[in-house]
Amino acid sequence: MFRKMAQTQYFCGLDLGTHTLKAGIICAKDEENLDLMGVFETRATGFKEASISDIAELSDCIQHVMQGVMQKTGIKVHAVQLGISGSFLAVRRSSAIIPLIDSGTKVVSAFDLRKVDHQAKLLGVNLDEDIIHDFPQWYRVDDVNTSANPAGLVGRKIESSLLLLTAQALRLRNLTKAVHQAGFEVNSVAFSGFAAGDVAVDKEDKTQGCALVDIGANITSVIFFKNGIVGDVQFIPWGGNYITQTIAERLSLTVDLAEEIKKTQGQASQSDPKEVSGEILVKREKGYMPIRREAVCEAVNWEIENFLTHLEAVVKGSNLYYQLNKGIVMVGGGSLLTGAIERIEERVNRPVRMGASTPGLNNAPVYAAAIGLGRMHYLKKKQESLNIKTPAAFKDKIVNSVRELCQEYF
């Protein structure tokens, strides 16, 4: 018997990858205490090179993963927090300057911050794009006072700098349509890597400075945190599928068989492939055939070296590299490859560890995005409930509006 979401606080995250779909349902007591009810994943279909090739096929796939997680947990949900990977996103920085007053000075208000941020968003987004996230970087009053929150300062003009994550509006509309055709509502759309950071990286690490590396199937996202905010986002065109494809091509195997060998035999250790001995028996149409472990090791190390070259350039090339006091946190399926953490740590010269574990779940880094999306769903619903216009809330809103009006003109 399904327990209805309306009766209990259950929230669902749907991580929509181009290779795998993952769904997770959580029970939220508060934003720090999340009980994971269950997760489910399935291979994605209906995609071709980060574009929808068959919306009906994708919709069926979404329905399959949602039915799977609901049957597994015995909980029925009607809406999801949809997460998309870096394959759908563009990163852009934008800034804007507005006058606070025609002559003299005035106190910077929350209204001024919203106004200058709005202007920065308009200047930083194309007509065919939607903004998925906007991360304020800093504000500057009169070209002198730089602050994360300048409300209350006195000045004549204010400048805002934003880090924007955007996506093509039509592509988002089609993704949302596929979810609707599967029978579910979309609460909102978010970046899966950012959602993963909500559960894999704690507040202290975000304040002290760290980088989250999310290794997906076809793309790796690197998110830099400093002073509690997202300071930079970079995408590397490499993922775990690259290892699978190289194994399949070099050893003349099917992709499914190469994927299985990668998971069971693949190692990112820096040992000389010639020192790896032994064979693996692989089932073929005409029986079993031996494959040298050395050949598998060579294929894996070839791709790992490509990845490390890209990652080193991104991490060491960031202006936040020397502020990564808490090192690097790993999530995503590719992070589970044996020896990957040690190779990355040696290459970027920073401590590397797996993302925070989730009680009762093995391989939690694989599902960090789905769990984080569920938490994001809870937080948005909580905020909506706080915004309900009760008499007291309506009174506070009027008082704040009058206060901002007085600051604006007096």
- Residue 105 pairs in a beta bridge with none
- 405 band by pLDDT with thresholds 50, 70 and 90: low
**Which pLDDT belongs to residue 395?**
56
**Domains of the chain, start order:** 3-87+171-203+357-386 (3.30.420.40), 89-169 (3.30.1490.110), 235-354 (3.30.420.40)
CA distance 145 to 153: 9
Average pLDDT over residues 350-376: 85
**End-to-end CA gap in the chain:** 61
CA distance 18 to 251: 25
CA distance 278 to 130: 53
Give yes or no for a contact between 371 and 199, defined as CB atoms under 8 angstroms apart.
yes
CA distance 61 to 46: 8
| Whether pLDDT at 141 is above 80 | yes
Average pLDDT over residues 130-137: 97
**Which pLDDT belongs to residue 145?**
79
Give the residue from 336, 93, 352, 308 showing the smallest Cα distance to 205.
Answer: 352
Q: pTM of the entire structure?
A: 0.89
Instruction: Locate 293 and state its tokens.
Output: 């472990």
* 3 state SS of 54: coil
Give yes or no for a contact between 37 and 75, defined as CB atoms under 8 angstroms apart.
yes
**Which pLDDT belongs to residue 182?**
97
- On average, the pLDDT of the chain sits at 88
CA distance 352 to 338: 14
**Which pLDDT belongs to residue 292?**
85
Beta strands in 62-184 (DSSP E): 75-76, 79-84, 90-99, 106-107, 129-141, 145-147, 154-155, 157-168
| Whether pLDDT at 313 is above 80 | yes
| Whether pLDDT at 206 is above 60 | yes
Average pLDDT over residues 336-358: 90
- 15 band by pLDDT with thresholds 50, 70 and 90: very high
Task: Report which DSSP code applies to 242.
Answer: H
| Whether pLDDT at 1 is above 50 | no
Backbone angles phi, psi at 229, to 5 degrees: -125, 165
